[in-house]
Structure 1
Amino acid sequence: MTNKKPLTVGITGGIGSGKTTVAKIFSILGVPIYFADDRAKWLMGNDPILISKIKESFGEESFSESGELNRKYLAEKVFADTEKTKQINALVHPAVGKDFEVWVALQNAPYVLKEAALLFETGSYKQLDQVINVSAPLKLRVSRVLMRDPQRTEKQINDIIDKQLPDEEKNEKADFVIKNTENKLLIPQVLKIHQALKTKADSGQIDI
């Protein structure tokens, strides 16, 4: 092991692409993973500076009397309003970025993964050394989400997809693409990238 700063690698993919499943395979290989979306939710309810900014921007009703984040209220305020979505993102994403930096400094590994749904959309990919995009056909993604979250409608899923960059654009921006289709094995793709990233971390060269 080395004490030098780990290579920072983003892993992203649209809803239903299977990025969390892919991240878990990397985890089995011993790669530390920062789940940015989960951490964002935690910070919104626990980071005093972020809490203060949310209250200032969206009102005291953003939190209950006991101090818990009022997710229903915020979702209603933000989801249908593009400007308010940008506003909440402008508060949350910098807080996640700082939290990630602190987390990275505590890791002792050749590289670490930052798993996030909107790496390209928010521009946070620019702070990372490499990015992996998990790609899958649209119909397959929709069917996966319908199976996973039966309370969602196909329209709701397509609305979410419409707010995310198309796979083609993500694939062009990414350093690596994992194809999570029904006829392509995941593990060999992950192992190949894992080896390439370890090589990159050790020597500064990508070998893939």
Structure 2
Amino acid sequence: MLIGITGGICSGKTRVAAYWARCFTLELIDLDAICRELLIREQPGWLALKKNYGNRFFTSAGHLDRPCFRTALFSDQALRREINSILHPLAGAHMQDQYRRAKKTVVLAEIPLLFEAGWEHKVDRIVVVYAAGKTRCQRIVNRDQVNRNEAEKAMSIQWPLRRKIEAADHVVDNTTSWFNTCLQVMHLGRLYSAKPDEDRP
């Protein structure tokens, strides 16, 4: 079983996914990590961007200019859709390959753009991590060192979190204490897998 963990930007899905995987000794597929690897020089994503856009998103040394790339994606919806149509299939293939090689029957996958990529049918269950919009906005400001307008723009290019919640099998409410969040994760972990590893922190 492949369980997709998603949510809004800075909702806490990475922390939730890591805690779940650690407590129940599960394999965790990280789509952000897959995408970063795909965009390393000479890797499939890098090659695809180079083929379609020439040097537009690259430094003089041939590496991806991530700030330039990020700005372009945020500011041009048509370009974002075009690039996603190129990169999402590559990332999806890597995810499926990791899942096939997994040694456990239950595998977690942190997929930030699960709904936006149309991957609802690539996973068996969907868990959405929820946090209030104001909280997420402030986290983006702190994490990315951007202003509030830029943070709100980053939030706006994703599906509204309420819409994701309506399409989810389960919701983890990450608005209060981390202890309360952990209780919810433990409940889901027990629901879908064996006893947690009591010796792990």
1:31 pairs with 2:26: yes
Secondary structure, counterpart of 2:26 in structure 1: coil
Secondary structure, counterpart of 1:119 in structure 2: coil
- For residue 127 of structure 1, the aligned residue among 100, 122, 126 is 122
1:17 pairs with 2:11: yes
Structure 1 residue 39, shift from structure 2 partner:
1.3
| Contact preservation (8 Å) 2:74, 2:157 | no
Structure 1 residue 66, shift from structure 2 partner:
4.2
Which consecutive residues of structure 1, in runs of 5 or more, have no partner in the other structure? 1-6, 200-208
Q: Quote the sequence identity (%).
A: 29
Q: Deviations over 1:73-118 (max 9, x none)?
A: 4334433111110111111110011111111122111211111211
C-alpha RMSD of the superposition: 2.0
Determine the structure 2 residue equivalent to 1:174.
Answer: 168
Structure 1 residue identity aligned to 2:189: H
Determine the structure 1 residue equivalent to 2:77.
Answer: 82
Point out the more displaced range, 104-113 or 40-49.
Answer: 40-49
Determine the structure 1 residue equivalent to 2:137.
Answer: 142
| Contact preservation (8 Å) 2:5, 2:128 | yes
TM-score, length-normalised on structure 1? Answer: 0.84
- For residue 91 of structure 2, the aligned residue among 58, 73, 96 is 96
State the alpha-carbon separation in 2 of the partners of residues 46 and 107 from structure 1: 27
| Contact preservation (8 Å) 1:44, 1:92 | no
Structure 1 residue 189, shift from structure 2 partner:
0.5
After superposition, the Cα gap between the structure-2 partners of 1:72 and 1:9, relative to the gap in structure 1 and judged at 3 Å, is same
Which consecutive residues of structure 2, in runs of 5 or more, have no partner in the other structure? 195-201
After superposition, the Cα gap between the structure-2 partners of 1:144 and 1:71, relative to the gap in structure 1 and judged at 3 Å, is closer
TM-score, length-normalised on structure 2? Answer: 0.86
State the alpha-carbon separation in 1 of the partners of residues 45 and 135 from structure 2: 37
Determine the structure 1 residue equivalent to 2:148.
Answer: 154
Q: Deviations over 1:23-54 (max 9, x none)?
A: 11112121211110121021122564433321
State the alpha-carbon separation in 1 of the partners of residues 123 and 107 from structure 2: 10
